[in-house]
Structure 1
Amino acid sequence: MAANITTEYRMNDERMLIQIFVVLFLCINLLLITTFFTKEVFYTTMRYVLFAVTLMSDCVFLFLADILLILNYSRYTIQMWLCLIMYIISSLYMFVTPVTLTAMTLERYVAICLPLRHAELCSPRSTLHGILIIHSLSSLPCIVFLSIFFASASYSSYTQFRICTLEIFIIHTWQGHLTSAINQFYFLIMCITIVFSYVKIMRAAKAASGEDKQSTWRGLRTVGLHALQLLLCLIQLWCPFIETAVFKINLMLFIKVRFFNYITFILAPRCLSPLIYGLRDEMFFNALKRLALCGLRKKH
C-alpha cells in the first residue's frame, strides 16, 4: 500500500515537472515566433523561415504530445476517430522538425560552399517550395501507416473508446516492422545529408581565410548543433517500439522509460532550436532583446 502511494506521488511529481517544461518551452517558442514577424528580413530569408517552421512544428507537436501524455497517465479513454486525428497531426509534425533541420543544414551548405548560387537556390519562392516538399516528405510515413490501418480496421472500431496510444493502430505485427523500416530509412537519409554537409563545410573552413574563415567555422558549429538536435529527434522515432517492448516486461519500468524518453527525445531537442538561432544568431537575438525590452517598458 505504502509503495503504491509513493509511486503515485512520484508520478504526480513527474507530471508536474513535464507541465512546467512544456509551458516554459511553448512560451519561449511563441516569443521567438513573434520576434520572427517583427522584421521583414526574417520572413524573406530561407534560414529564418525554416527556423520559424521548426518553432511552429515544435509548438503543435509539444501541445498534442502533452495532451496524449496526460490522457495516458490518467488512463482516460476517447473515441478512436478523435485519437486518429490527434495521431495524424502529431505524426506529421514529429517528422516535420527533423526534415526541416536537414533542409536548414543544406541551406548552410549552399551558403558556405556555393555562395554564388545561394541567392538563386534559397530565394523566397524556393523557400515556399521547400516548405511544401518538407510537409510532403513528412506525411509519407503517416500515409503508409494509416492506409494499412484503414484497409484493416472495421467501421465500428472508429467509435470505440480506447486509451489513445500508437499501439491501438497496429492491427498486424508486420505494421510495426514496416513503420520501423520507414523510420530507419529516413534516419539513414538524414544522417547521410548531415555528414555530407558537415564534411564539405569543414573542407571549406580549412581553405577559407580571415572573416570568411570565422563565418565558415560558425556555420560548421551550427551544422554540428543541427546534427545533435537531429539525432535526438530521430531516436524519438524508435521510442514507441522500445516502450512497447518494455511494457511487456514491467509496468513500472515502462512508466520510467516513457518519462525518460519524453524528457530526452521530445523536450530536449525542441529546446535546442532557441539556442541555435534564437540566441546564437546575432541579428535574431538583437530583435528578440528589443521585443523583450519593449514589453518590460510597457509594463512599467
Structure 2
Amino acid sequence: MNTTTCEDTVVTNTAEDPFKIMKMCFGLIGLIGNSIVIFVIITYKSLRSKMTYQLVCNLAVCDFTSSLFMIPVSDIKYDQSIIMNLVCRIYGSKFLMWASLSASVMGLLMIALDRYWAVVTPIEYQTIIFSKKRYFMLIFPWLAGMFLQVFTVFVSVVDECGQCLETFNNAYVFTFIGVTVFLLSYLIPIIYMFFIYKTIIKSMAEMANNMNKYQQNHAAKTLTKTKSKMMWVFLFLTVFFTITWGPDKFIWLYTTLSGQSLCKKTPQLCNIFLLIAYSNSILNPFVYAFTQKKVRTNLCIK
C-alpha cells in the first residue's frame, strides 16, 4: 500500500530548486529595467505630464511588482492559525504575483487604446487626456488583474503538512474560472491588440495618402516611415505576447477542462513556461520606454 507522507512532499518540492537561480536572475533583470523606466518618467516633468508615459510608467510598476514576487524566498511553514491561513491565501497562493502579471497584460491594452485615440481620433484625444478617463486607464489594469486572480484567495488552504495548496471542490466552477481567465487574460487581449494596431496603421496610411494628394510629400514620407516603424514594433509585441504567454495559458486551460494538473506531474515544464511568460515583464520597458526618443535622451542614450 502506497502512502504519501509530509516528508515525501518536502522532498518532491526540491525538484524546483534548479529554477530558483533562473527566477532570481529574471526577477533582478525585471526589477532593474523597470525601476529605470519608473525613475526616468517620474523625474522628468516633460514625460510624467503626458498620458502615454503615465501609462508606460504604470505598466513598468506592474512589471516591477511581478518581478519582485518572481524572486524566490524561503519556504514558509504554515499552520492552522487564522493569521497563517490569511498569509497562505494572499501570499502563498501567489495571488500578488499573478495579479500583477495580469495587470501588466491589461496595461498593454491601455497603451494600445491610448495610441488608437491619439492617431485615429486626435481631436477627441485632447479632451480625453484631461478627463477622468485618464485615471480610469491607470487604475483599470490593477482592478482587472486582481479580479482575474482573486479566485486563488478563496481556494487556497493550508493542508495537514503545513503547505499552502489550491483546492477546488466543484469541477464545474473550476472549469468556468479557467475558461474565463483564459479568455480575458489571453485570447481576447490578443484579438484586441491585433484589431487596434491594424486600425492605427490603416488610419496612418490614409493620412499619408491624403498628404500626397495635397503635395505634402515630405510630411507624407515622414508619416509613412513612422507607420512602418510602428507596424513592425506593434506586430512584434503582439506576436511576442501570443507566443510567450501561449504555453502557460494553454496548460492552465487544459488543467481546468480536464481536471488533471500537468504542473503536478511535470513541475519543471511549468516552471519553464512561467519564465517564458514572465519574459514579457522584462521586455516591456525596453520596447515601450527605451524605444522612445525622449526617454533615450533623458538617459543620455543616442
Q: What TM-score, normalized to structure 1?
A: 0.75
Asked if 2 retains the 8 angstrom alpha-carbon contact of 1:205 and 1:216, the reply is yes
Shift of 1:221: 3.0
SS at 1:42's partner residue? helix
Match of 1:298 in 2: none
Match of 1:297 in 2: none
**1:118 pairs with 112, 125, 142, which one?**
125
Deviations 1:219-254 (A, max 9, x none): 333322431354234654445566763245x4xxx1
Match of 1:17 in 2: 22
Q: Quote the Cα distance in structure 1 between the aligned partners of 2:141 and 2:23.
A: 29
What stretches of structure 1 of length at least 5 have no aligned partner?
Answer: 1-6, 291-300
Match of 1:217 in 2: 228
Shift of 1:38: 1.6
Please identify, of 234-243 and 221-230, the stretch whose mean Cα deviation from structure 2 is larger. 234-243
Q: Quote the Cα distance in structure 2 between the aligned partners of 1:227 and 1:12.
A: 32
Deviations 1:188-238 (A, max 9, x none): 332232121122123224332222222233333332243135423465444
Asked if 2 retains the 8 angstrom alpha-carbon contact of 1:279 and 1:285, the reply is yes
The one-letter amino acid paired with 1:185 is L
What stretches of structure 2 of length at least 5 have no aligned partner?
Answer: 1-11, 79-83, 209-219
Match of 1:184 in 2: 182
Match of 2:135 in 1: 128
Alignment: residue pair count: 265
Q: State how 1:29-178 maps to structure 2 within 5 Å.
A: 29-67=34-72, 70=73, 76-78=76-78, 79-86=84-91, 87-123=94-130, 125-143=132-150, 145=151, 149=154, 162-165=162-165, 168-178=166-176
**1:260 pairs with 272, 284, 299, which one?**
272
Please identify, of 186-195 and 276-285, the stretch whose mean Cα deviation from structure 2 is larger. 186-195
Match of 2:33 in 1: 28
SS at 2:44's partner residue? coil
Asked if 2 retains the 8 angstrom alpha-carbon contact of 1:110 and 1:118, the reply is yes
Asked if 2 retains the 8 angstrom alpha-carbon contact of 1:229 and 1:272, the reply is no
Runs of 4+ off more than 6 Å: 7-10, 158-161
Asked if 1 retains the 8 angstrom alpha-carbon contact of 2:289 and 2:295, the reply is yes
Deviations 1:71-116 (A, max 9, x none): 5xx6x53333212112332332121111110111111122222222
**1:286 pairs with 273, 297, 300, which one?**
297
- RMSD value, Cα: 3.2
The one-letter amino acid paired with 1:184 is F
Q: Quote the Cα distance in structure 2 between the aligned partners of 1:117 and 1:50.
A: 18
Change (3 A) 1:124 1:203: same
Asked if 2 retains the 8 angstrom alpha-carbon contact of 1:109 and 1:201, the reply is yes
Task: Choose between structure 1 and 2: higher helix proportion.
Answer: 1
Change (3 A) 1:255 1:198: same
Identity of counterpart residues, as a percentage? 12
Change (3 A) 1:259 1:18: same
Deviations 1:2-31 (A, max 9, x none): xxxxx9999654322331221122122112
Q: Quote the Cα distance in structure 2 between the aligned partners of 1:123 and 1:283.
A: 21
The one-letter amino acid paired with 1:256 is Q
The one-letter amino acid paired with 2:42 is F
Q: Quote the Cα distance in structure 2 between the aligned partners of 1:49 and 1:161.
A: 45
The one-letter amino acid paired with 1:92 is A
Asked if 2 retains the 8 angstrom alpha-carbon contact of 1:80 and 1:161, the reply is no
Match of 1:198 in 2: 197
Q: Quote the Cα distance in structure 2 between the aligned partners of 1:276 and 1:124.
A: 27
The one-letter amino acid paired with 1:32 is V
Shift of 1:180: 1.3
Q: Quote the Cα distance in structure 2 between the aligned partners of 1:189 and 1:247.
A: 25
Asked if 1 retains the 8 angstrom alpha-carbon contact of 2:77 and 2:162, the reply is yes
Shift of 1:61: 1.6
Asked if 2 retains the 8 angstrom alpha-carbon contact of 1:29 and 1:55, the reply is yes
